[in-house]
Amino acid sequence: MAGERDHLRPNSGQPGDIRIAPSLLAADFGMLAEQVGEVAPSAEWLHVDVMDGHFVPNVSIGPPVVASLRRHTPLFFDCHLMMTEPGRYLEEFAEAGADGCTVHVEVGGSAGLIAQMRHLGLRTGLALNPDTPFEAVEPYLSQVDLVLCMTVFPGFGGQSFMGEVMDKVTQVRAAVDAGSLAVDIEVDGGIDVATAPLARRAGANVFVAGSAIFGHDRPWEAADAIRRSVLAGAE
Of the chain, the end-to-end C-alpha distance in Å amounts to: 26
109 vs 155, beta carbon nearer ligand DX5: 155
Q: Report the partner that residue 230 touches, choosing among ligand DX5, Zn ion, none (CB closer than 5 to 8 A by kind).
A: none
Residue type, 71: R
Q: Is 145 in the site for Zn ion (CB under 5 A)?
A: no
5-42 core/surface letters (b: 16 or more CB in 10 A; e: else): eeebebeeeebeebbbbbbbbbbeeeebeebbebbbeb
- Closest CB 32 distance from ligand DX5, rounded Å: 14
Parallel, antiparallel or unpaired: strands 45-51 and 76-82: parallel
Distance CA 48, CA 29 (A): 12
- Closest CB 170 distance from ligand DX5, rounded Å: 21
Respond yes or no: is residue 192 known to be catalytic. no
Angle between helices 32-39 and 219-233 (to 10 degrees): 40
49 vs 184, beta carbon nearer Zn ion: 49
Q: Report the partner that residue 158 touches, choosing among ligand DX5, Zn ion, none (CB closer than 5 to 8 A by kind).
A: ligand DX5
Number of CB atoms found within 10 A of residue 201's CB: 16
Only segment of 35-43, 90-98, 155-163, 169-177 that touches ligand DX5 (CB under 6 A)? 155-163
CA angle centred on 90, ends 84 and 94, rounded to 5°: 150
What is the footprint of ligand DX5 within residues 115-154 (CB under 6 A)? 152, 154
Q: Report the partner that residue 155 touches, choosing among ligand DX5, Zn ion, none (CB closer than 5 to 8 A by kind).
A: ligand DX5
Q: Is 100 in the site for ligand DX5 (CB under 6 A)?
A: no
Overall size of the chain counted in residues? 235
Q: Is 78 in the site for ligand DX5 (CB under 6 A)?
A: no
Distance CA 175, CA 138 (A): 8
What is the footprint of ligand DX5 within residues 12-71 (CB under 6 A)? 23, 25-26, 47, 49
Q: Is 208 in the site for ligand DX5 (CB under 6 A)?
A: yes
Please give the residue ranges that form the binding site for ligand DX5 (CB under 6 A): 23, 25-26, 47, 49, 80, 152, 154-159, 188-191, 208-212
Residue numbers annotated as active site: 49, 188
Please give the residue ranges that form the binding site for Zn ion (CB under 5 A): 49, 80, 188
